[in-house]
Amino acid sequence: MISDGHLSLKLCPSEIEVIRRYLIRLLGENSRAGQAIDWHYDQQRERHMRQTVSKALLDRPYDGFVSLGDNTMDWQYEGLATAGEIEEALRFRLLPEDQLGIGKDQQIWVQGNHDTGWGHSTWCNFRDHPDRHKFEIFEQVYGPSYGLRPLSGVFDFIWLSTVHVETLVSRAGITSDVKLDFLVAKQKEELEFLERTLSQTSKKFFLGIHDPGSFFSPQLQEILNHHRDRLVASFTGHIHAWWLMEFLKLCRPSFRPVFRKYRVQFIPSIWGVVLPFPFWPTGAGWAQLLLDDHEALLELHSIGKRRPWTIKLS
């Protein structure tokens, strides 16, 4: 499993990149210090991504591949992909098949906020939310934005899209009525799918949603509460590094009981968090899910650490 590859870098920066741009603006884009920060960022990001991928390839073969969202950086400002962008995204989507021999039916691409232009950025003059067209582009490139994939006779993997981030009501003030109507309908569609799926099977299941904030959705909680005894783990990304996730838990104590209740397991970004300090740990890594008929183990691999951190999930 990987998360937040941002493999196709477009016009909108990630939140961490904003820090870099503020520093460069403060120091001057053409200053020696500004250029040094720019160079360091690009070098660190590429180095950690290459190290992560190279190290992960040593453990092949794999039975499947899961990306937990933010597979691209963004489409154009309004989230409308050009033919060239779609071609580039498809090239990255084929990497698991080309490099690992994992066929399309063994791949799961969870939708992230950057994959459909969800969010806002003052750097891009961008303040928008996904509409039907953006979801269709995602599904054209990566496959269904939500679904179920059997992993064994014991375990299923269910994934949902980004529509569950918060409750949508808080988004109404910055979302057009047409888009809000679509998002509410999309959320209802996915929740009905989840409820129907869980009621029709007795298997244990993993849940994949890109943004951990999704688990504060009361609608999602209501369904999961009836099936918590079968929920093995909920996998999320979005935060990029484990240390940053722990920092957010410290700042927001309300996160801890919710994450514990729904067994949220964070999967780090394959390039982590790159800040303009060479000594700062990026937290780059990936995870392996190991299954048999009796238990599930999660191995978290981090760049710079020789041994993975093994978590017993069931």
Per-residue pLDDT of the chain (314 residues; tens, 9 = 90+): 999 888 765 444 454 555 666 666 777 767 877 777 777 777 777 777 778 877 888 777 899 999 999 887 665 544 456 677 677 777 778 888 887 889 889 999 999 888 886 655 444 444 566 778 888 888 988 899 999 999 999 999 999 998 876 545 555 556 667 777 888 888 899 999 999 999 999 999 999 999 998 998 888 999 999 999 999 999 999 988 888 888 888 888 888 999 999 999 999 998 888 776 666 677 889 999 999 988 999 999 988 788 899 999 98
* Best CA proximity match to 213, nearest among 306, 78, 118: 118
The backbone torsions φ and ψ at residue 49, rounded to the nearest 5 degrees and listed phi first, read: -65, -45
Beta strands in 14-116 (DSSP E): 65-67, 107-109
What pLDDT, on the 0 to 100 scale, is given for residue 173?
Answer: 59
DSSP strands (E only) in the chain: 65-67, 107-109, 119-121, 126-128, 147-150, 155-159, 204-208, 231-236, 264-266, 285-291, 296-302, 309-312
Helix-then-strand count for the chain, H and E: 9, 12
The structure tokens listed for 150 are 């059997």
Q: Is 286 helix (H, G, I), strand (E, B) or coil?
A: strand
173 phi, psi to nearest 5 deg: -70, -20
Do the strands 126-128 and 147-150 form a parallel or antiparallel pair, or are they unpaired? unpaired
State the Cα–Cα distance between residues 193 and 211, nearest whole angstrom. 19
Residue of 110, 116, 18 lying closest to 73 (CA atoms): 116
Cβ–Cβ contacts within 10 Å for residue 313, how many?
17
Q: What pLDDT, on the 0 to 100 scale, is given for residue 174?
A: 60
Nearby residues of 112 by Cβ (< 8 Å), 6 or more positions away? 4, 68, 69, 70, 71, 162, 210, 211, 237, 238
